[in-house]
Chains A and B, each alone.
Chain A
């Protein structure tokens, strides 16, 4: 277990380096001068050169990468071109909101997905299985940004029950635990939860069907164990994989929240990315993507280590 964890951690280092190289390259695959959006149209050649030296764009790519990486390791992701504020501060402000949304959505998706998955796996090929499997296919097929729009149409535009956009009253971006703030969270979290719901339901269905077909289950039943007792055994065997899928899904939602945050004007990293793209704020784009990708890689690492701790059969 310890050896596996160590090997897994060491293996993550080159991946992290590669990920930061891709993020670094984003600025350089972008067409046009990276300084174009801060320079006034009539900037003199001297001013352009001075800024180029200031931002380090006059150096070679490997030099620039090492400088950038060195600063990033110290928590300095550069300065946002649009707001003039440090990128790190902007990302930290936004990432909490995205984390909250993604965590709630993953939890709801996990509960619903496990329910549908267990029902479908237990009553394999029955009408109940068909219905639960249909829910799973719906979850993985629906364009979630459209589902968000439909929910807004029904619950905000038509019924007027829930707010359509933002994270709190008066456009506040600071989340608090009270009834009003929760009402702003319901629609985006529900929309987001269909993705993990579908994937977890499919995984759990396959797991449960596979476990029930194993001989030890027949053995348990033959020894007269109650159906609930058998159920507990199934849960115990399915849990490591189901939890692992849940962890990976949390990472996907953190990184993939841009569409849902755009639909609901949720003030998280997705909105930050959206404004970075349209203001051609490349340092902000680069920094936000780096942070989200790091979250994803570290989360996957934790999931793998946790899974090997829960399931002693895994000795890769």
Chain B
């Protein structure tokens, strides 16, 4: 799912002093990206303040109250298969679901950038060794690798996060490596080297600033994939364990209820969809705001 965006990510390195102001201004004018950003901001706030805004306890329910429809008395979004308030569970679920979607990409962003920059800057045998290893992991379809690793490691939040991090390191490392390799032969890096700057200084001052932008844009689009995969692992029973509220897991446990309360059962998936599409639109906005050509 990741490869075809690679070429569009390599940005022209022409950047003036007001570059970031320009990017910000362009992003603010992009209505779709702003709407997506607001949705994500609201959901993040809801996740942080879940104990205050959730009307009920997400773990407590009464069985006689099970599978109430949307809009029923006292339960705005109905109740689940154990009689727990859906609205409260969806709000609390934002915590684990967002955490599970965002954490692997953040970890992979740090590790993958480091691996890619080292490979790209070092070149030669170091590059070959690192990048061929990365290629091996890239040779697995992402869903398959995530399921294989977390299936072998066993169910659980930590193992799911670890597996997803491993899934996202190769694509990020590839982008970082190709941008760094291109950058390495540019004149201003040559000039820095000629004036006696050490490798660490060059990477810190000249490479990072030019490489992290494109990788960041790419990583935001990966969060959309990560949300779907992370909740997918919980949906399969490999991630968060019951009774904790997490959207993928909720979708799984409510599957049996689709003949009784179909639209209540579909709600958790709608949340995953909203977050995923918002990250995609935000990422598209960021990309066109940062692309100098447009």
Interface residues of A (CB under 8 A from B): 14-15, 18-19, 21-23, 26-27, 29-31, 137-138, 140-147, 149-150, 152-153, 157-158, 195, 199, 202-203, 206, 245, 248, 251-252, 254-256, 258-259, 262-263, 273-274, 276-278, 282, 285, 289, 292-293, 296-297, 300
Contacts and interface: CB of A to CB of B under 8 A. Distances in A.
Given A256-B143, A285-B148, A289-B144, A141 B280 contact: yes
B235 to A, nearest CB: 6
26 contacts: A14-B132, A18-B132, A18-B133, A19-B136, A23-B148, A31-B154, A137-B280, A140-B1, A140-B224, A141-B277, A141-B280, A142-B276, A143-B276, A149-B266, A152-B258, A153-B262, A202-B4, A252-B141, A256-B142, A258-B144, A259-B143, A262-B236, A277-B238, A292-B144, A297-B139, A300-B139
A258 B269 contact: no
Contact of A146 (B1, B153, B269): B269
Contacts of B142: 252, 256
B172 interface: no
Interface residues of B, number: 49
A92 B227 CA distance: 32
Contacts of B132: 14-15, 18
Contacts of A137: 277, 280-281, 284
Contacts of A31: 153-154
Q: Which 9 A-B pairs have the closest CB atoms?
A: A146-B269, A255-B141, A18-B136, A256-B143, A255-B144, A141-B277, A277-B151, A153-B262, A26-B152
B272 interface: yes
Contacts, number: 146
A15 B255 contact: no
Given A15-B139, A146-B273, 4 more contacts: A18-B139, A27-B152, A29-B153, A289-B148
B8 A143 contact: no
DSSP majority for the B interface?
helix
A19 B144 CA distance: 12
A258 B236 contact: yes
B175 interface: no
Interface string B127-153: 000001101110111111001110111
A153 B260 CA distance: 10
A293 B8 CA distance: 27
B135 A157 contact: no
A19 B140 contact: yes
B135 A18 contact: yes
B231 interface: yes
A278 B237 contact: yes
B235 A259 contact: yes
B37 to A, nearest CB: 15
